[in-house]
Structure 1
Amino acid sequence: YLHTNRGAPLFQLLRVPLEAPQGPAEVLVPERPGITLEGIELFAHHLVWWDRQDGLTKVRVRSLETGAEHELEFADPIYEVWAVGNLEMDTRVLRLAYCSLVVPATTFEYHLDDRTRTTLRVAPVPGYDPARYVSERLWATAPDGVEVPISVVRHVDTPIDGNAPCVIYGYGAYGEPYEAHFSRHRVSLLDRGLVVAIAHVRGGGDLGRPWKEAGRLGAKMNSFTDLIACAEHLVAQRYAAPDRLACSGGSAGGLLVAAALNLRPELFRVAVAQVPFVDVLQSLLDPSLPLTVVEWDEWGDPRAEAAFRNIRAWSPCDNVRPAPYPDVLITAGFNDPRVQYWEPAKWALLLRAANTRPDAQTLLKVDLGAGHGGQSGRYGEIEDSAFELAFLLDRLGVADSTDLVG
């Protein structure tokens, strides 16, 4: 069985006999328009494969005995699903884990023949009731006409009336999809009436390999204009108050946030950029840095004039200008080998010098004991998240409110 993109950019599944591997291959799952075949699970009696379609993972099953096919159905409009430890070949049970923006991680067994499910474990979240929250999928139109998916979650009692504060998250790089996973920390925002959104911008793998290619190298600007289009759509559809909109992202997602601020500084009230890759041009010109050479494949090699001009057009530190920038929290790790701490520090200095808002806050938080992933230890990640959420709530004007939604 061969999972291959040879002659099929979106991948296909082939079968060849062991006794004649160079002979003609049987196509089991052909390449299909708009669908990326991401992986397979092979059992004695069933073939299971994973498709990326419409921004979601689709799990499809084929009986090797009858040829009958079906797709697993999930109740949530947005979700994440993945395989868990399917090591037994001769089985008729598939073990999966599932979560969504409102459902905590759930491990279950799916019976491939009768299509029933047995729940094995649900991650405990004390005091949490998923019925109090609702998620949905929206689509924003980018400047070039491409439809960009947005995942949205809110408390059921938070009205869509144009008054809610909103935080929009994004990443958009390396072909990595921004999955709609469950977050305990997010509940604190939802219970305070915030709308939380994920912009599945180009550069990530949210809609398969073509989505990645449409947001890297010379097409990188699409990632930033996608985020702006998603933010504007949330305001236009009254999910977000125009003066209470925040954006957040980490690493390459921090770059996404920073570049969007340069393009539309007045659009956002608050921004959080965690270990942001912001001095892109200078970093990529220095091959002595740990990751520079391997990063050329994603962003371009600025030693070539065309790539230099492209990166120069959006590299955050090279495009800060006098403008009314929002309040910004910037985090950095002193021991970060991927984004050295001086990049966020340089960007903070540039923002402070260029910001025309006299009351704006540009806060730089450097953890002297952390690397690219923030603090380690049992409580480190919780402390980091609490600090960032407190900043968001304070600058969005909801920190003084003790009234929870519902």
Structure 2
Amino acid sequence: MIKNLHKFLLIAPLIAGCNQNPSKMNQPYQWPENISTPTVEKKAKEFLMHGDKRVDEYYWLNERENPKVIDYLKAENAYVDTMMSGTKELQEKLFQEMKGRIKEKDESVPVMTNGYFYYNKYDEGKQYPIFCRKKESLDAPEEIMFDQNKMAEGHKYYSIGIIRISDNNELAAFTTDHVSRRLYNLQIKNLTTGEVYPETIPNVEGGSVVWAADNKTMFYILQDTTTLLGYQVYRHTLGTDPGNDVLMYEEKDDRYYLDIERTRSRKYVTIVSNMNEASTEYRLLDASNPTGAFKVFEPRKMDFQYHIDHAADGKFYILTDWDAPNFRVMTSEDGKTGKENWKELIPARKDVYIADFNTFKNHLVLTEVKDAMRQIRVINQTSKKDEYIAFDEKVYTAGQSSNPESNTDILRIVYTSMTTPYTVIDYNMDTKEKTVKKQTEVIGYKKEEYETDRIWATARDGVKVPVTLLYKKGMKKDGANPLLLMAYGSYGNSIFPGFNSTVISLVDRGFIYAIAHVRGGQEMGRTWYDNGHLLKKKNTFYDFIDCGEFLVKENYTNSKHLYANGGSAGGLLMGAVLNLAPELWNGVVAEVPFVDVITTMSDASIPLTTGEYKEWGNPADSSEYFYMKSYSPYDNVEAKNYPNILVTTGLHDSQVQYFEPAKWVAKLREFNKSKNIILFKTNMDAGHGGASGRFESLREDALIYAFLLALEGRAN
């Protein structure tokens, strides 16, 4: 139930399944027989709202500290191990394949900021990155700021949320999470002496820390340990007791998320209050006056968003949906921040969504979205001429990379497609010259063996929905291909076509991999989102089903070989389509799925609930309550023939609590009329994002792929 998009970094040897013995292919996997599924005690709990009574017989599974709950989760894990025992060798083979594609000793492209080149590197066999820098020149001695491998010793899970460097380059504020609950500890390290100072501030937002210009003052966001909402901004002075930190701002409306930023000019610290895709409010403080008061840039109001930056030219640049659903860019002078002073710089367009912008000394750079593709537009601020950076492939994704310095004509971008690994490029905005700085090395991968394509499915209301495909060259549209269709479709988050080396293990074994760019994201502009949330949320589910049926109709696959996958809010999508069209799929994988919509959205103490009202609805509103109830996966489970299902979760998940999928699986098993398999796997040491190490997470992928391959009779 949170905006959660997984990032794919390094990946890739093709010890492919194409060399398997044909006599062993497509033989049905023999699930172990006479194995009883774990039993779950029923304890009826009634909920009454708007005169409507709901009975939840598995509600007690939310008792995290109850030994019976832990025993049940362990029993489910043991059941998965037993049922998947025949795929043990396959899982190990898949893991080694995916791990083998990764260049284990690797290094990121250095980024220059404030006199230092910053980069991270991985050592052979190590799970975590090492964060480094070099002063002024890449030939300078290497400084290791943080070795996460050493820091993670003794921890089953370890995550560094953010590293923020002071203006004088001497201090690093950093956040760490050892539980995967996304409650971080904030500490400070002296990069000259190596000393980590004794003051530790617990329960902070992992990515929201900013230095003031005096090199001794920091601002951070404190989280509510129950709801996990960041709600207070504090000022901390180096060397002082955190108990004496000064409260600078408290967000009283729990529908808003908080963030802290430093403007591109480095002149201002900003506090951002944001209600998802609905309302924004910025507050400004001069970074050289950290004890001053934050002042509102432009007051918030509903259905009015704006995102600001202060550029080196002394102007504010504003990306806003004010009278512009697909956003436009405006400017205002320093000291004149009110909306009445804004002047339009880049007008809005109906068919192009402006997603982001960046300012340089001579150029303005926009990230724009059209037809489910992300493109880069460069505008010369002097001549006013603009252009889109051109690439050769038909379907791709291009975006701005890290560009902390504005006094340059070099734009760093990242480029990828379903067949092209992530590529870092320096683009000269004057000469138009592209310089490839690095392309992720995917060991054993041969691009010429694969193809990608974009097709358009027609939804039941006539809307064209884009679908991006990846398949092995020579694929035949004979209806017999296994096909994995994935989607997200929530929060306005868009899934753009990009390289994912893990999925090569499926494609090499004959799978087509497909992304359905369904409504609820913003792949086709703001209206794509508006027509896929709140009281139009069902369009997301219908789009996905219609894409699946289109792929069958067009002979890419058939329902005996069609599979679906989604995580988090995409897991809700999986739950909904299971109820709406169970016969369409041979198997469905739901990762950390948000499936108990009404109960969760009715409980403001559950993490992040109130901030999601504009996405799903507020059950206190009767119309929104009954609409949510009409699609909530848990509430709509009924006696029918469900397909094969694999559900995953993490015990410490802070975004979708483990008990949602736990209850859902118990109810699915109770009502399922088919003999298909329903499996439920809990990572007892992780949360929403799964395992923290770069290799351990591949074991989770290996389990999912082995499940799909077993259903295809390819488990040998």
Pairwise CA RMSD: 1.6
2:441 aligned with 1:124, yes or no? yes
Q: Which moves more between the two structures, 318-327 or 258-267?
A: 318-327
* 243-252 vs 3-12, which moves further: 3-12
- Give the direction of change, closer, same or farther, for the CA distance of 1:193–1:28 in structure 2 (3 Å limit): same
1-structure distance, mates of 2:635, 2:394: 40
CA distance in 2, matches of 1:399, 1:19: 66
Give SS of 1:38's match.
strand
**Would you say how many aligned residue pairs link Structure 1 and Structure 2?**
399
The alpha-carbon deviation at position 20 of structure 1 amounts to: 6.8
Q: Aligned partner of 1:115: which letter?
A: K
Deviation at 1:16, TM superposition (A): 4.1
| Aligned equivalent of 2:459 | 142
Q: Is 2:14 aligned against 1:14?
A: no
Which of the numbers 32, 50, 63 marks the counterpart of 2:349?
A: 32
Find the counterpart in structure 2 of residue 331 from structure 1.
648
The alignment partner of 2:705 has SS state of helix
1:365 aligned partner, one-letter code: K
Which of 381, 391, 394 lines up with 1:64 in the alignment?
381
1:376 to 692, 700, 714: 692
1:227-242 paired onto structure 2 within 5 Å:
227-242=544-559
Structure 2 unaligned residues grouped into runs of 5+: 1-316
Deviation readout 1:66-102 (Å, 9 max, x if unpaired): 2222111122222222222223323222111111111
CA drift of 1:241 comes to 2.6
| 1:311 maps onto 2:616 in alignment | no
Correspondence for 1:45 among 362, 376, 395: 362
Higher relative contact order (CA 8 A, sep 6+): 2
What is the DSSP-based 3-state SS (H/G/I as helix, E as strand, rest coil) of the residue aligned with 1:44? coil
1:362 and 2:678 are equivalent in the alignment: yes
Q: Secondary structure at the match of 2:345?
A: strand
Per the alignment, residue 421 of structure 2 pairs with: 104
Checking the alignment, whether the CA contact within 8 Å between 2:412 and 2:424 is kept in structure 1 is yes
Structure 2 letter corresponding to 1:126: I
Distance 1:216 1:85 in 2: 31
- SS of residue matched to 1:174: coil
Q: Is the 8 A contact 2:375 2:399 kept in 1?
A: no
**Counterpart of 2:468 in structure 1: which amino acid?**
S
* Residues 242/20 of structure 1: CA separation in 2 closer, same or farther (3 Å cut): closer
- Residue matched to 2:106: none
| 3-state SS, counterpart of residue 49 of structure 1 | strand
Task: Tell me which of 548, 556, 562 is aligned to 1:245.
Answer: 562
Q: What code does the residue aligned with 1:377 have?
A: G
Pick one of 494, 501, 509 that aligns with 1:184.
501
CA change 1:133–1:301 in 2 (3 A) is same
**Equivalent position SS for 1:226:** helix
Mean CA deviation greater in 270-279 or 52-61: 52-61
- Is 1:2 aligned with 2:335? no
Q: What CA distance in whole angstroms lies between the structure 1 residues aligned with 2:641 and 2:321?
A: 47
Are 1:297 and 2:608 matched, yes or no?
A: no
Cα distance in structure 1, aligned partners of 2:662 and 2:616? 22
Q: Distance in 2 between matches of 1:255 and 1:19?
A: 45
Cα distance in 2, alignment partners of residues 367 and 38 from structure 1: 35
> Once the two structures are superposed, what CA deviation does each residue of 1:318-352 show, in whole Å capped at 9, x if it has no partner?
11111111100001111112212121111111211
Shift of 1:18: 4.8
State the partner residue of 1:403: none
SS of the residue corresponding to residue 171 of structure 1 reads coil
In the other structure, the counterpart of 1:404 is: none
Q: In the alignment, is the contact (CA less than 8 A) between 1:270 and 1:396 conserved in 2?
A: no
- What's 1:211 paired with? 528
Tell me the alpha carbon deviations over residues 216-263 of structure 1, each in whole angstroms, 9 at most, x when there is no partner: 111011110000011011111111233100000111111101100100
State the alpha-carbon separation in 2 of the partners of residues 19 and 333 from structure 1: 48
SS in 1 for 2:557: coil
Query: How far did 1:3 drift?
Result: 2.0
Check the 8 A contact 2:374/2:496 in 1, yes or no: no
Secondary structure of the corresponding residue to residue 107 of structure 1: strand
What TM-score does the superposition give when structure 2 sets the normalisation length?
A: 0.54
Q: Does 1:348 find its partner at 2:665?
A: yes
Corresponding position: 1:392 with 2:689: no
| CA offsets 1:98-151 (integer angstroms, 9 cap, x no match) | 111111111011121222211000111100011111111111111111111111
Contact 1:76 1:135 in 2 (8 A): no
Q: Structure 1 counterpart of 2:389, which letter?
A: L
Report the secondary structure of 1:287's partner residue: coil
Q: Aligned partners of 1:290 and 1:268: how far apart in 2?
A: 32
Q: 1:26 to 1:363 in 2, by over 3 A?
A: same
Q: Counterparts of 2:358 and 2:672 in 1: how far apart (Å)?
A: 53
Instruction: Name the stretch that deviates more: 295-304 or 226-235.
Output: 295-304
The residue matched to 2:470 in structure 1 has which SS? strand
Aligned partner of 1:321 in structure 2 is 638
Q: Distance in 2 between matches of 1:164 and 1:231?
A: 13
2:634 aligns to what SS in structure 1? helix
Deviation track 1:324-382 (CA, whole Å, cap 9, x = no partner) reads 11100001111112212121111111211222212x00001111111111122242211
Task: Name which of structure 1's ranges 27-36 and 221-230 shifts more when overlaid on structure 2.
Answer: 27-36
Rounded to whole Å, the distance in 1 between the matches of 2:599 and 2:318 is: 42
Q: Tell me the amino acid that sits aligned with residue 396 of structure 1.
A: E
Contact 2:531–2:539 at 8 Å: present in 1 too?
A: yes
Which residue identity lines up with residue 560 of structure 2 in the other structure? D
> 3-state DSSP class of the match of 1:61?
strand
Structure 1 range deviating more: 121-130 or 207-216: 207-216
For residue 597 of structure 2, what is the amino acid of its counterpart?
A: V
Q: Could you list the per-position Cα deviations for residues 168-209 of structure 1 after superposition, in whole angstroms to 9, with x for gaps in the alignment? A: 001111110012121111100111111000111111122222
Q: Aligned partners of 1:18 and 1:259: how far apart in 2? A: 49
Distance between the aligned counterparts of 1:308 and 1:377, measured in 2? 40
CA distance in 2 between counterparts of 1:290 and 1:160 reads 45
- 1:268-283, aligned counterparts within 5 Å? 268-283=585-600
The answer to whether structure 1 residue 157 and structure 2 residue 470 are counterparts is no
Task: Write the distance in 2 (CA, Å) between the matches of 1:178 and 1:89.
Answer: 29
**What is the DSSP-based 3-state SS (H/G/I as helix, E as strand, rest coil) of the residue aligned with 2:411?**
strand
Whole-angstrom distance in 1 between the partners of 2:646 and 2:327: 41
In 2, the alpha carbon distance for the partners of 1:225 and 1:39 equals 29
For residues 409 and 609 of structure 2, what CA distance do their matches in structure 1 show? 47
Identical counterparts, % of pairs: 38
CA distance in 1, matches of 2:692, 2:364: 40
Cα distance in 2 for residues equivalent to 1:125 and 1:168 = 23
- Offset at residue 17 of structure 1 (A): 4.8
Structure 1: tracts of 5 or more residues without a match: 401-406
Counterpart CA distance in 2 for 1:98 and 1:174 is 24
- Does residue 384 of structure 2 align to residue 79 of structure 1? no
Q: Which amino acid aligns with 1:130?
A: K
Q: Which piece of structure 1 moves more, 343-352 or 20-29? A: 20-29
Q: Tell whether the 8 Å contact from 2:409 to 2:428 is kept in structure 1 after alignment.
A: yes
Cα pair distance change 1:354/1:21, threshold 3 Å: closer
32-41 or 260-269, which deviates more: 32-41
Amino acid at match of 1:106: T
The AA in structure 2 aligned to 1:398 is R
- Higher-Rg structure is 2
Change over 3 Å in CA distance of 1:279–1:26 after alignment to 2: closer
